[in-house]
Amino acid sequence: MSVFDSPNFDDHESVHFFTDPDSGMNAIIAIHNTNRGPGAGGTRFWTYETSQQALDDALNLSRAMSYKNAMADIPFGGGKAVIMRPGGEYDRRALFTAYGKAIESLGGIYCTAEDVGVSTADMEVVRQQTRFVGGLDSGEAASGDPSPVTAEGVFRGLHVAAERVFKQNDLKGLRVAVQGLGHVGYSLCQKLSAAGAKLFVADINEEIVALAEQELGAHIVDPGMIHAQDVDVFAPCALGGAINPKTIEQIQAKIVGGAANNQLSHPDMGNVLKGKDILYCPDYVINGGGIINVAAELSGTYKSDWVDNKLDGLAQTLNEIFSLSALENKPTNEIADRLALKRIHAAA
């Protein structure tokens, strides 16, 4: 299947394929839209069964970044990169060195940071080859791993949702099921625990769920059933597609909001959630904190106040989406898409 035939192709401006036989690096960088500025989005390092899967992921995620960056109101368009994890042994430093050279060859139309499978150490290697990178541990504007800021944005968004659904201005006493305890998921759990929420957690990493049980008093749940818990909030913080035809009928929560990208396996899932009277927090709105933090780094002068104000803006935008959804009787993901496209087109 060609790029143009992929169901995830959405008039992307460009798609770039890079390979480096010496390091085993095979990467795809998709630029969806640059109306608002250079394409910006994280780099995902993942095991894909086929190159078609990697391409579809890059196309889908880069489109979501256009929407996310528009709703976060930052001067960047949408882009995303995926690196196919080599089979067998490989030199990680050599691989990310080659990847940094690939980014530099694009001349600034794409800026990156961490995503699934990538660390701040990897980004430091990339930075040695290109300046179009954020999420760094060193440098004048460095702020480190953006995951805690993503978690803070999700936390603030859940406050907005809880106030609308449960008429309470805090999260105390709410039962929250968190799917995935990576950097963002665990940070979100820490914030929820401190706020008095009761946690139910699942992850394939047994050590991290045991830590959540020990440190946060979380209840460990089988990963295959975390979505079906009798809770108030379901927070998908792993990979995409958590809301799909199989899981959606089992969800008991009244709010769905988490850090994962592309939580709906298909846009129609938004209609089904609405029909079940479940308030969905559009993923690319509620999880925009990380890219806001990266944007602050890429400006060259990191300002925490600017980041904080942008996080407040995300919460306000989410509240606007909820209001329009109720007024127009339309699913929240449809409202969010419309607002995002309006901002993107306005910048053309």
Closest CA to 335 of 78, 152, 67: 67
Which string of DSSP letters, residue by residue, matches 271-321? HHHHHTT-EE--HHHHTTHHHHHHHHHHTTS--HHHHHHHHHHHHHHHHHH
CB atoms within 10 A of CB 277: 8
Dmax (CA) for the chain in angstroms is 58
In angstroms, rounded to a whole number, what is the distance separating the alpha carbons of residues 223 and 204? 7
DSSP string, 104-172: HHTTTSEEB-B-TT--HHHHHHHHTT-S-B---SSSTT----SHHHHHHHHHHHHHHHHHHHH--SS-T
Residue 77 has φ and ψ, to the nearest 5°, of -95, -165
167 is catalytic: no
CB neighbour list of residue 272: distance below 8 Å, 6 or more residues apart: 248
Going by their DSSP bridges, the two strands 39-40 and 175-179 should be labelled as unpaired
Active-site hit among 68, 80, 198, 310: 80
State the Cα angle at 64 between 60 and 67, rounded to 5°. Answer: 150
- What is the token pair recorded at 326? 């109720």
Q: Is 10 exposed, middle or buried (0-12, 13-18, 19+ CB in 10 A)?
A: middle
Residues with active-site annotation: 80
